[in-house]
Structure 1
Amino acid sequence: MAYPVFDLHCDTADRLSWQSLPEDLKATLGSDAYAPGDEEHLDEIRDIKANRGHLSLERVGSTPWVQCFACYIPDALSPQDSVRFYEHVSANLDEQAGRHAEAFSLVASAQDIPEQPEAGRLLGVRTIENARLFAADLAHIDALRRAGVLMASLSWNAAGPLASGHDDESAGLTDVGREALRRMEDARMVLDVSHLNDRCFDEVARLATRPFVASHSNSRAVCGHPRNLTDAQFCEIRDRGGIVGLNYADIFISSEGVPTFDDLSRHIDRWLELGGERTVALGSDFDGCDTPPCIAAADDMPHFQKQLVARFGADVTRKLCFDNARAFFARWS
């Protein structure tokens, strides 16, 4: 039996749309393709139906699947250029959905996500990673929420106009970032704290009045990478009624060799030990990372779920793969 999937983060939308970016944006970003190696295979990374990436309609197959498609905005872009970048990636996602309407559609709200998604149909949720375009005009928050963006993060790795990632541990939220947080809560756009440095996380915890999410972050107690969550951060999210998406990126799973299923499952073990049975979710980071053999791409999901059931049981597997994420967005977005 295939359990439905609700995956909180992938970079597939960027990867499919990158090569058609306006030339001045590509020049700023310094690359004709999103992922290393795509430059030699541009015809193979254009279409959501079939491509050389981690996620496609063919790879999803018959698994009922809801996918958060992040528009990842690089740190190199100004807030003003970030607006154009977002518009391009979003338009490409619309085009993909129109081209493959029989198998792929975008939802406008959490209420459009059924308790049991249809097999063989991919449902897409719009999100933003590094929403620096909000610094150009905070009115974008309300407009994009009305357009179906359900979740956004305030930074990537560097210090930015809203907040800072782990490249700068000394920088906190900016004044604009604090106002963006307030406006997001008013608009019922979920805040994603993945990529925030520890100082920014602490500020968010002090200021936020609604639950928030770490869409693709693992346990720092298991793998000491700063992008992972401390136990205290995980418990903060748990206690607020948020969720945390398990990241498949090899560097966030283990610092020793090629990660195995056991390495990845240790992060789940840790979170369950912390009482996180209703907090754990999936946040693959597909098309934005190097993945381990146990879940190298979307078509490995059926076997991955069998391993999850064998280790954690059917109830936890169902909650991890789908129920916790759907329940969260139904309550809070």
Structure 2
Amino acid sequence: MALPVFDLHCDTADRLAWQSLPADLRASCGSDFYGPGDEGDPAGCRDLASNRGHVSLEKIGAVAWAQCFACFMPDQLSPTDAVRFCDHVMGYLRAQVAANEGRVALAGRADRIRGVLAGGRVAAVLTLENARLFAADLGLVERLAGEGLLMASLSWNAAGPLASGHDTHGHLTSLGVSALAEMERAGVVLDVSHLNDECFDDVVARSGRPFVASHSNARAVCGHPRNLTDRQFLQIRERGGVVGLNYCRGFIVEGCWDQDPARVTFEDVAAHVEHWLDLGGEDVVALGGDYDGSDVPAFLDGADTMPAFQGLLVERFGETVAAKLCGENALAFFERAAHGA
């Protein structure tokens, strides 16, 4: 029987909603389709129930599964355009959930996730990646929190109005500092994945609540700057946060961007988990697959590979650690966050 899953990041909401975006927003983003190959099968990447991407209700199957569905806002969007973009993507996801209400439900609040799973439905958790829309109006933090937003990151790869990603060396902006404070006040968890090292240090200095890295690996194992240093991992651990294992091949094995998907193996993924366990991270490690937003290893190519992956995790790390990694740590974190802990 498969272990329950709580995955901290996927880009599936963008992929499904992309074709129906207003034309000017698609033009600003520079693409009429989100995922590779979607242009050849437009109808195959619109429905949450069944699609050609990594995450669908069909591929999740009977596994008890909580999924953070990120609304990812590209760096090309102005804050004002990002508001419209977010409203469209979130609206599309809500419509898809409503169309499949027997199989999936919006969690809305962290303390509802466990109940949704117990009822046999997938728990859809709303998150933001690159929340540059907050620069248009900080009041959006409270509004979106009231609509069920549980987590948000402040940047993607480039310098933005709130913070900077790993392509640059900027710090949190004054508006970013205000956004962080407003998120903590409203109970929206900060996601530090994509922040550069300078902004990470700013967060440590200025935050008062636990935070997470939703989809980042160990830099000691793979030296890409999108991954966490040991010091960063330990700071997240000390704050009571969690770190989601990213399936992107280039963040698992250095330089594996255009390589054969079969080249990256379970042993390569396990090396990141083992390193974090050596750092005392048994209650910190989680899943953050980056599904529908990255090129993944062949053995992790879609949600339907999860039972086999879990079998490998149990064999290597034992059922207790595997259960924590796959779902228990992330669920416990969000339940703590819901009570201000």
TM-score scaled by structure 2?
Answer: 0.96
- Shift of residue 35, structure 1, vs aligned partner: 1.2
Match of 1:173 in 2: 172
- Shift of residue 113, structure 1, vs aligned partner: 1.2
Give distance in 2, aligned partners of 1:116 and 1:44. 27
Relative to structure 1, is the Cα distance of residues 9 and 240 closer, same or farther in structure 2, using a 3 angstrom cutoff?
same
1:325 aligns with 2:330: yes
Give distance in 2, aligned partners of 1:264 and 1:213. 20
1:305 aligns with 2:304: no
1:269-288 superposed matches below 5 A: 269-288=274-293
- Paired letter, 2:225: P
- Shift of residue 120, structure 1, vs aligned partner: 5.4
Asked if the contact 2:116/2:122 (under 8 Å) is kept, the reply is: no
SS state of the match for residue 177, structure 1? Answer: helix
- Shift of residue 294, structure 1, vs aligned partner: 2.1
Match of 1:204 in 2: 203
Asked if the contact 1:63/1:119 (under 8 Å) is kept, the reply is: no
Match of 2:25 in 1: 25
SS state of the match for residue 277, structure 1? Answer: coil
Give distance in 2, aligned partners of 1:248 and 1:115. 28
> Any unmatched runs of 5+ in structure 2?
none
Match of 2:273 in 1: 268
Match of 2:216 in 1: 217
Asked if the contact 2:73/2:85 (under 8 Å) is kept, the reply is: yes
1:7 aligns with 2:7: yes
- Paired letter, 1:271: W
- Shift of residue 293, structure 1, vs aligned partner: 1.6
- Shift of residue 119, structure 1, vs aligned partner: 7.8
TM-score scaled by structure 1?
Answer: 0.98
Post-superposition CA distance 1:8-67 (Å, at most 9, x none): 000000000000000111111121110121111101000001100000011001111000
Aligned counterpart for 2:296 among listed residues 291, 310, 327: 291
1:111 aligns with 2:111: yes
Give distance in 2, aligned partners of 1:48 and 1:17. 10
1:244-255 superposed matches below 5 A: 244-255=243-254
Match of 1:75 in 2: 75
1:58-69 superposed matches below 5 A: 58-69=58-69
- Shift of residue 138, structure 1, vs aligned partner: 0.3
- Shift of residue 135, structure 1, vs aligned partner: 0.3
Cα RMSD (Å): 1.1
- Paired letter, 2:282: E
- Shift of residue 313, structure 1, vs aligned partner: 0.2
Give distance in 1, aligned partners of 2:3 and 2:104. 18
Match of 2:52 in 1: 52
- Shift of residue 118, structure 1, vs aligned partner: 4.0
SS state of the match for residue 305, structure 2? Answer: helix
- Paired letter, 2:290: D
Give distance in 2, aligned partners of 1:168 and 1:26. 25
SS state of the match for residue 272, structure 1? Answer: helix
Asked if the contact 1:64/1:119 (under 8 Å) is kept, the reply is: no
- Shift of residue 121, structure 1, vs aligned partner: 2.3
The list of structure 1 runs, each at least 4 consecutive aligned residues, that deviate by more than 4 angstroms after superposition, is none
SS state of the match for residue 102, structure 1? Answer: coil
Give distance in 1, aligned partners of 2:120 and 2:90. 23
Post-superposition CA distance 1:308-332 (Å, at most 9, x none): 0000000001100111001100011
1:316 aligns with 2:315: no
- Paired letter, 1:311: R
Give distance in 1, aligned partners of 2:120 and 2:296. 24
Asked if the contact 2:105/2:116 (under 8 Å) is kept, the reply is: no
Asked if the contact 1:65/1:119 (under 8 Å) is kept, the reply is: no
Asked if the contact 2:138/2:179 (under 8 Å) is kept, the reply is: yes
Post-superposition CA distance 1:120-139 (Å, at most 9, x none): 52110000000000000000
Give distance in 1, aligned partners of 2:334 and 2:308. 27
Post-superposition CA distance 1:121-175 (Å, at most 9, x none): 2110000000000000000001100110000000000000000001112x10000
Give distance in 2, aligned partners of 1:217 and 1:224. 12
- Shift of residue 115, structure 1, vs aligned partner: 7.0
SS state of the match for residue 216, structure 1? Answer: coil
- Shift of residue 226, structure 1, vs aligned partner: 0.4
User: Which 10-residue stretch deviates more, 204-213 or 248-257?
Assistant: 248-257
> Any unmatched runs of 5+ in structure 1?
none
Give distance in 2, aligned partners of 1:271 and 1:312. 12
Relative to structure 1, is the Cα distance of residues 207 and 45 closer, same or farther in structure 2, using a 3 angstrom cutoff?
same
Relative to structure 1, is the Cα distance of residues 277 and 193 closer, same or farther in structure 2, using a 3 angstrom cutoff?
same
Post-superposition CA distance 1:55-96 (Å, at most 9, x none): 001100111100000000000000000000000000001110
SS state of the match for residue 114, structure 2? Answer: coil
- Shift of residue 220, structure 1, vs aligned partner: 0.2
User: Which 10-residue stretch deviates more, 256-265 or 109-118?
Assistant: 109-118
Give distance in 1, aligned partners of 2:163 and 2:98. 35
